[in-house]
Amino acid sequence: MALAATCGLPASAWSANGAPPVQQSYSIPAGPLAEALTRFAASAGVSVQVDARLVEGLRTAGLSGTHTAASGLASLLAGSGLEAVERANGTYVLRVAPKPTPDADTRLAPVTVTAAAERSGTTEGSGSYTTRAMNTATPLSLSMRETPQSVSVVTRDRIEDSGMTTVEDALAYTTGLTILATAGERSTYSARGFDVTNIMVDGLAIGHDTDTLGSASLAMYDRVEVVRGATGLLEGSGNPSASINLVRKRPTDTRQASVSASAGRWDNYLGTLDIGGPLNEAKTLRARAVVSLQDSDTFTKGYSHERQLFYGTLEADLTDRTLLTLGAYHNKEDNPGADWNGLPTRSDGSFYDFKRSVRASPSWSYWNKENTNVFGELKHTFANDWSVSLKGTYLDSKLDMLGTSLIWRDAADTFTYNVGKYDYHHKQTSIDLRATGPFALFGREHQLAMGANYRRNVSDDGPGGWPGAYSYGFDPSNWQNTIDPPKASIDDLWSRDAEEVQYGAYATAKFSLGDPLNLFVGGRLSWYELDETLKSGTWIGNAASEANAEFTPYLALSYDVDTQHTLYGSVTGIFNPQNYSSARGSLLDPVEGTNHELGIKGEYLQGRLNASAALFQINQKNLPESLPAASCPALPECYSAAGEVRSRGIELEVSGNLTDNWRAFAGYTYQQAEYVEDSVNGNAGDDFGTNIPHRLLTLSTLYKLPGRFKDWRVGASVRIQSATKRTITGYATVRQSGYGIVNLMAGYSPAKNLDFQLNIHNVFDKEYYRAIGYPDNANLFGEPRNFVLTAKYSF
């Protein structure tokens, strides 16, 4: 252990996630090989296993220029008689280089040299609010500074420090992200003025299904990565708002286990068990399992959650260079009392004086979800640093709901209150085949990633409907929530069957034009098919759409101003198929456009702190515009591809560790989207997406106290947003002033394996609406002040 001890570094090594090789610049002077290896491991973020006696007395000529981890190690070891061999889990082992008659006695037991985090980007246990690498923007694995787009990451430490339990919690405190909703169990997200529809899990795209997918418990995720702007290179379609990548926890090289229990306001009880580690002595077989159970009421009277998550994954080193990953999860959520479409306002758009505990739904309503997912990946790394991976996932999701909606208002401000029951069943399949690696051209080393992917979504929605005779009066001034439940039979008024298939091929290259200058060039060819049958009452409609060999370009340029700062500019194409019907009954043409971005990024304190500033402009055309009913008498509703919108703004972010004891995150966004053209409703020059705030500030920090209080830590998070409004033709405008939410936390660790933490959310008990809709519905209160106390034991 001599080498590890002199390094002063932790002794654990974290497994890799199959990311392709990453290049970065090094400046390591000539000197003792042991010291150079330690410095290299810290800079590259890799784990190197070496017997201290093998490098004793050896020297190196040093390392300079841009290298991958493998090529950098090879250069450092040149002339030493040693070589570095990469294992399937991403760690490196140093050994005596093979000779014609190798002396086996010189091969001694390895010792681990570990950096603060490895290039996989894993954040669990890093003690950081930033990550070393991510490949959500492109197939290449790049640091945040190297990525030529605006990116954010919510790390495992930030998740736990802030007491986040769902993906929605994490995104609410991410730069530029706004949470929108039309009901308690139907949340959507927006960024840069547009809806976010691009969701990935471990880099594989899935449909953003607000109806059937569960709350996405964070218990099984290492981190949440966000790339703002268009990312059609990997997904082929989607809005140019942002892409969200949920990165799962992976098995660990060393045994670890923890159990946590929390209790909070409104009888909120949550328990989590997390176990992982090797299953054999050679550590070639590793596993991870997570169980999370929650039983909770909410601040809304009669509305509660019963959530169950079971997650497991297995990694097997089939050879030194071949890694197999398999896994599955099952998530079940019962949500009795769920509100289908929120609260109304007065007819003039002003808010009623409701208590925050009020809901429009009766006590017998519910919104239950069940999700089952299986996934796998096979990756092989070649001796020349090239790797090939095949990954796939299958997701089965179901919805069973019974609820009520407010649909008409009379002159006395009394609503008609209808009942509906629906069953949805969605099946999603995603497959990706990818090859990545370095290549030499004109005397320099470059990076290339290429691949193909396939995605299929099948929807079997309904039959569903409502008992037409069962409508009730809803009087906001005298609502008792005591209406009788409907009859068991619900008529078959609505159904939807659809199959959506998209597939394509992509390639991206990073060309090193010079030590400070890099060119990113990429593109994707996409094919898209949609076949849909929709029934609404007596109307039955069939619609089909397809796109063939649609090309999505990607171009970026980065310039390293110095060892800490990089300037970049990027242009990305937009291609987004639509499922809105025209007046003729056919589907609208895809939305098309471009995403432009200019920015500067900084990396400080050996990569422990990242900062960025970006200017962006997004142009989209063929956006759907609602047509009057007279334009489509044979259809329930119809649209015209007549809208063109431009969004502009600025994003600022700082994330990471300011000191060993101080973690911090700060993000600010200003954005404004407006209609450039609108030939249907005459909105040209008006704001687009007015329910999305123009200004948004998010802050998070944690400080570990020194000296006699070293077992204590304190922290806070803040979210401040500007005013919003919502306008629809024929209705009054609903407005909400800007507001801010402050959260506090304190933690205490009386022993190495025991920890207590108190989180207080909305400390000043700010009353606000987390979503605003229309005068008739879709207005939802935010949570009042509440607390959660958590105890965690690790063993």
| Digit-coded pLDDT (tens) for 263-320 | 999 999 999 999 999 999 999 999 999 999 999 999 999 999 999 999 999 999 999 9
Q: What proportion of the chain, given as a percentage, has pLDDT over 90?
A: 54
- Supply the Cα-derived Rg of the chain in whole angstroms: 27
pLDDT at position 650 is: 98
pLDDT at position 149 is: 92
109, pLDDT greater than 50: no
493 Cα distance to chain centroid: 36
Compute the mean pLDDT over every residue in the chain, rounded to the nearest whole number. 86
103, pLDDT greater than 50: no
Any idea which architecture 2-114 has in CATH?
Answer: 3-Layer(bab) Sandwich (3.55)
CA 181/CA 338 separation, integer angstroms: 13
Nearest to 500 by CA among 521, 520, 464, 529: 529
pLDDT at position 43 is: 77
Nearest to 52 by CA among 105, 117, 9, 6: 6
- Taking residues 515-530, what's their average pLDDT? 93
Nearest to 687 by CA among 740, 639, 624, 643: 643
Nearest to 213 by CA among 192, 244, 250: 244
pLDDT band at 238 (very low <50, low <70, confident <90, very high): low
Across 111-120, 287-296, 562-571, 693-702, least confident range: 111-120
449, pLDDT greater than 90: yes
372, pLDDT greater than 90: yes
pLDDT at position 710 is: 95
114, pLDDT greater than 50: no
Cβ atoms of residues 73 and 36 within 8 Å: no
pLDDT at position 470 is: 60
- Taking residues 464-468, what's their average pLDDT? 68
3-state SS, residue 106:
helix
106, pLDDT greater than 50: no
Model confidence, pTM? 0.85
- Taking residues 576-593, what's their average pLDDT? 82
- Residue given tokens 């991976």 in the structure block: 389
pLDDT at position 139 is: 82
pLDDT band at 237 (very low <50, low <70, confident <90, very high): low
Residue with the larger pLDDT of the pair 31 and 696: 696
- Taking residues 371-378, what's their average pLDDT? 98
Cβ atoms of residues 308 and 332 within 8 Å: yes
Complete DSSP assignment for 395-428: EEEEEEEEEEEEEEE-TTS-EEEEEEEEEEEEEE
143, pLDDT greater than 90: no
Q: What is the DSSP letter of 176?
A: T
Q: What is the DSSP letter of 50?
A: -
pLDDT at position 629 is: 67
Query: Cα separations (Å) of 429 from 206, 208, 395, 575?
Result: 8, 13, 7, 21
Cβ atoms of residues 196 and 226 within 8 Å: no
Greatest Cα pair distance, the chain, in angstroms, is: 97
pLDDT at position 11 is: 30
84, pLDDT greater than 50: yes
pLDDT at position 182 is: 77
pLDDT band at 636 (very low <50, low <70, confident <90, very high): low
CA 610/CA 712 separation, integer angstroms: 26
7, pLDDT greater than 50: no
CA 535/CA 533 separation, integer angstroms: 7
- Taking residues 131-146, what's their average pLDDT? 84
Across 84-88, 378-382, 697-701, least confident range: 84-88
Cβ atoms of residues 395 and 330 within 8 Å: no
pLDDT at position 634 is: 63
- Taking residues 712-732, what's their average pLDDT? 93
pLDDT at position 278 is: 95
**Orientation of helix 33-44 relative to helix 69-76, angle to 10°:** 170
Count of beta carbons in the 10 Å neighbourhood of residue 445: 17
Across 104-113, 124-133, 169-178, 780-789, least confident range: 104-113
pLDDT at position 437 is: 93
| 525 strand-pairing partners | 505, 551
| 95 strand-pairing partners | 83
Nearest to 651 by CA among 601, 607, 691: 601
CA neighbours closer than 13 Å in the CB half-sphere of residue 98: 2
Burial of 623: CB neighbours in 10 Å, binned 0-12, 13-18, 19+: buried
- Taking residues 19-42, what's their average pLDDT? 74
Any idea which architecture 248-537+554-794 has in CATH?
Answer: Beta Barrel (2.40)
Nearest to 279 by CA among 327, 315, 322: 315
582, pLDDT greater than 70: yes
Count of beta carbons in the 10 Å neighbourhood of residue 768: 18
16, pLDDT greater than 50: no
Cβ atoms of residues 398 and 367 within 8 Å: no
Q: What is the DSSP letter of 220?
A: G
Q: Which CATH number fits domain 150-247: 3.30.9.10, 2.60.120.380, 3.10.105.10, 2.170.130.10?
A: 2.170.130.10
Q: What angle do CA 351, 786, 694 make, to 5 degrees?
A: 50
Tell me the domain boundaries of the chain: 2-114, 150-247, 248-537+554-794
- Taking residues 667-688, what's their average pLDDT? 87
pLDDT at position 785 is: 98
- Taking residues 4-12, what's their average pLDDT? 33
pLDDT band at 399 (very low <50, low <70, confident <90, very high): very high
pLDDT at position 488 is: 55
Residue with the larger pLDDT of the pair 791 and 23: 791
pLDDT digits (tens, 9 = 90+) for 723-752: 999 987 778 999 999 999 999 999 999 999
CA neighbours closer than 13 Å in the CB half-sphere of residue 38: 19
